[in-house]
Structure 1
Amino acid sequence: MSVDTTKLIHDQIEYYRSRSSEYDEWFYRIGRYDRGQEHNDRWFAEIEVVQKALREIGQVNQVLELASGTGVWTEQLLQISTKIEAIDASAETIAINQNKLNSDKVTYQHQDIFVWEPEQEYDLVFFSFWLSHVPPDLLQSFLNKVYLATRKGGQIFIIDSRNDYTSRAKDHPVNGQNGIYQTRKLNDGKEFTIAKIYYQPDELQTLLVNAGFTADVRVTDNYFISAHGWKSN
């Protein structure tokens, strides 16, 4: 499938702008994402596994959160950091994040991450459910930015999705789901095409090592893959 990357990025930004008011329904298993008690309990148990791994980093000073979204993980980062710089391409999600957290420890940049260039180094660079949306032809450039934004001896922490159909909405479109470009639908029925790449642990490990990090990659039983990395040089 041939895809215009510029158009794809534009569509992804529009998708998350349009989805901003319902994004938390996915995380908290509400409405179309409610798969019943058994699946929901499994989801939240695995969320706790990843949250615990993030907390085990311990206290850090300056954090950069890329694709910060509605603040689900910004809230977790507040527990371990002194200051957070949060970047997102959607003004709508930034507004939700700000209103939800109302913290003077967090500053925000409204910016397309593919245009953004790091201007300083951070003790921790964090992004959740974002790497899977980076088109293949922009992956190396993005990881180079992550490397430049991480101070020597600094850390990265990544969270993303495993390919389990029960993580998606019950009425998730079944067409066009065979490759890395997928159709996603909002509550109002509007559809968007996005990139969604489900990395295997060995693939993610190789990507991070090649980008200059030492990395520990883990998976939960069903839903999540995470990586804790260090920049040694």
Structure 2
Amino acid sequence: MVPGSSGRPPTGYGSYPHRLREVPPTVLGYICIAAADPHSWSKSVGPKRFVVRKRGCIPPRACCPLTSDVPLVFVSQHSCDGWGRTIVADDLQDRLDEQLRYYRARAPEYDEWALREGRFARSARERARWFADIGKLERALDRFQPSGNVLELACGTGQWTARLAEYADRLTAVDAAQEVLDLNRRRIGDRARYIRADMFSWKPTETYDVVFFSFWLSHVPPERFGQFWGLVRSALAPSGRVFFIDNLASREAASLDPEHPGPDEGSVVRHLSDGRAFQIWKVLHRPKQLEADLSKLGWDATAHRAGHFFLYCQATPRGDN
């Protein structure tokens, strides 16, 4: 709706996306206020015309749908509402598309970050601290014993795929970027089966004893957190287990690693060696809060801090223990 109007959607346009045939020229997009899976609405109105509501961006009295069960509301092209307050429009899919473009472009130089080489080179003391923490992650994974039929989501260039291959009877690696899959395959060879797929739309055709992912959950926007864990659950065989690692939400880590965002940031701007800049999602988690968030989704999870930089977590669907 146009802020400051009667509080009702324009005549001739229904409140639900399946009733919309054409977006009025004065409409910037739509804000979802009720759907359990907000992005599903964009399939009807188109991702370029869809915006996810930011809490507090639009005051409750700006339009009556915000306090009702109506899931969508029109937003004016104007940057301010009727009371002079700024409206923030955030196209979720555009940001995810940019994130994928970033990792496709970064594929040839990604391992420099993990190995602390090139522009990520640090002093001997800082490198020792970094690799000591990596060692804690490796030992935690060894204790977990990721055996059987193993699935790695967002497998990247293969730093952790190689370790999984030591344990798995059968290993499947999935990523949305062909460039990193190619690098992974060069490293792993025929020890893994590869699938190129989007993490939010892929439908597993089989189930797995273990689902693993590394440094991926922090790239999942809050609006997709539940959806992603639904994918994980659908991929697990009965009595299946999940293990993942990621950056730790820590001011100490942010001070030690220039690529580590502050603990309260939801996105960061990353630069490639050629100077190109991309905005990506980076939502960091703390162990106890992560356990609580997963518990709400029906998971029994145990998360641990691994030194200065990282955390690791293992989880099972509640009732499968």
TM-score range, shorter chain: over 0.9
Give yes or no for the alignment of 1:117 onto 2:203.
yes
Amino acid at match of 2:123: G
- Structure 1: how far apart are the matches of 2:263 and 2:231? 29
Distance 1:168 1:62, change over 3 A: farther
Structure with more contact order per residue of length (Cα contacts < 8 Å, sep ≥ 6): 1
Q: Deviations 1:70-93 (Å, cap 9, x if unpaired)?
A: 000001101111111111010000
Amino acid at match of 1:97: N
Q: Which residues of structure 1 form unaligned runs of 5+?
A: none
Give yes or no for the alignment of 1:26 onto 2:113.
yes
Aligned to 2:85: none
Aligned to 1:139: 225
Q: CA deviation at 1:208?
A: 2.2
50-59 vs 141-150, which moves further: 50-59
Aligned to 2:127: 40
TM norm structure 1: 0.92
Aligned to 1:94: 181
Q: CA deviation at 1:178?
A: 6.2
TM alignment of 1:65-214, pairs within 5 A: 65-102=152-189, 104-162=190-248, 163=250, 164-165=253-254, 166-169=256-259, 179-214=265-300
Q: What SS does the corresponding residue of 2:160 show, helix, strand or coil?
A: helix
Runs of 4+ in 1 over 3 A off after TM superposition: none
Aligned to 1:16: 103
- Structure 2: how far apart are the matches of 1:177 and 1:202? 14
Give yes or no for the alignment of 1:53 onto 2:140.
yes
Q: CA deviation at 1:230?
A: 2.3
Q: Deviations 1:149-208 (Å, cap 9, x if unpaired)?
A: 112211100100024233335xx9x9x996301101111111000010110111211122
- Structure 2: how far apart are the matches of 1:6 and 1:59? 33
Distance 1:203 1:69, change over 3 A: same
Q: Deviations 1:18-58 (Å, cap 9, x if unpaired)?
A: 00000000000002211211111011011011111101122
TM norm structure 2: 0.68
- Structure 1: how far apart are the matches of 2:231 and 2:258? 30
Q: Which residues of structure 2 form unaligned runs of 5+?
A: 1-87
Q: CA deviation at 1:3?
A: 2.1
Distance 1:177 1:125, change over 3 A: closer
- Structure 2: how far apart are the matches of 1:50 and 1:20? 22
- Structure 2: how far apart are the matches of 1:153 and 1:203? 24
Measured on the aligned residues, the alpha-carbon RMSD in Å equals: 1.9
Amino acid at match of 1:230: T
Aligned to 2:308: 222
Q: Deviations 1:113-132 (Å, cap 9, x if unpaired)?
A: 11112222110000000000
Q: CA deviation at 1:212?
A: 2.6
For the pair shown, the structure with the greater C-alpha radius of gyration is 2
Amino acid at match of 2:151: L
Q: What SS does the corresponding residue of 2:144 show, helix, strand or coil?
A: coil
Matched residue pairs, number?
228
- Structure 2: how far apart are the matches of 1:128 and 1:168? 19
